[in-house]
Amino acid sequence: MEFTKLRHACVRLEKDGQSMVIDPGVFSEQDAAVGADAILVTHEHADHFDEQRLRAALEADPAVELWTLASVADKMAAAFPGRVHRVGDGDTFTAAGFEVQVQGELHAVIHPDIPRVTNVGYLVDGSLFHPGDALTVPAQPVETLLLPVHAPWNKIAEVIDYLREVKPRRAVDIHDVYLSDPALPIYESLLGALGGCDRTRFAPGEATPL
């Protein structure tokens, strides 16, 4: 597959002339989801789900379909009947030629006073895992882990331990818009030295075959 890093937690996957976009939120490009054959959303928070971006993509092409959990699907299904699919932990489906397994149930804890929302991760073609906002360990070994490097709900020690537990062949940084340029070398150094696997950081718009 061809992998393109978009802004923050958003990525595009392409294979055999079809494309899938995961988590087009308010920090991703305005047209991040436009032109995709399938869109996946991990949870309802605005940096992963932006209703305006999703509506633009679904209205631009009547063949585009959306797979997501109930909290997002309930906001979109009435306007796009038959094109919005509710999924949860343990489900499997095919979208844009990709085989997808749904893994995970809850968002990571931000603070005990904040209720946890539902969050699902997506294992694509048995090789690439997007966890959304959780440190869900995939049920099987993965080639590529999309690594949420910085968020209100995590700290660097947890990210390092997550890498060590999953043991992917490679990790690719996502969920990174909150990091300032001066902080990047600190994260690069710690994750590179302690993560235990190859790790890559792409600028928005950069692409690579996986």
**Each residue's pLDDT tens digit, 134-180:** 999 999 999 999 999 999 999 999 999 999 999 999 999 999 999 99
Phi-psi region of 87 (alpha: psi -120 to 50; beta: other; left: phi over 0): beta
What is the rounded distance in angstroms from the CA atom of residue 42 to the CA atom of residue 72? 9
The pLDDT of residue 123: 98
What are the tens digits of pLDDT across the range 81-112? 999 999 999 999 999 999 999 999 999 999 99
pLDDT in tens, 2-31: 999 999 999 999 999 999 999 999 999 999
* Interior/surface letters 155-191, b for 16+ CB within 10 angstroms, e for the rest: eeeebbebbeebebebbbbbbbbeeeeeeeeebeeeb
3-state secondary structure of 158: helix
Return the closest-CA partner of residue 33 out of 45, 17, 51.
51
Split into its structural domains, the chain has a count of: 1
Task: Give a yes or no: residue 86 inside a domain.
Answer: yes
Dihedral (CA of 22, 133, 72, 52) sign: negative
Question: Could you tell me if 68 and 47 are in contact, meaning their C-beta atoms sit under 8 angstroms apart?
Answer: no
Q: Is there a contact between 204 and 30 (Cβ–Cβ < 8 Å)?
A: no
Q: Are 70 and 43 in contact (CB under 8 A)?
A: no
The verdict on residue 210 lying in a domain is no
106 domain residue, yes or no: yes
Is residue 34 in a domain?
Answer: yes
CA gap 178, 51 in Å, rounded: 21
In a domain, 207, yes or no: no
Asked if the structure places residue 58 within a domain, the reply is yes
- Read off the CATH number of the domain in which 83 is found: 3.60.15.10
* Region 62-80 average pLDDT: 97
* pLDDT at residue 162, as a whole number: 98
* pLDDT given for residue 34 in this prediction: 96
Range of the domain at 168: 2-199
CB hemisphere CA count around 41 (13 angstroms): 33
pLDDT class for 126, splitting at 50, 70, 90?
very high
pLDDT of residue 56: 94
In DSSP terms, 41 is beta-bridged to: 68
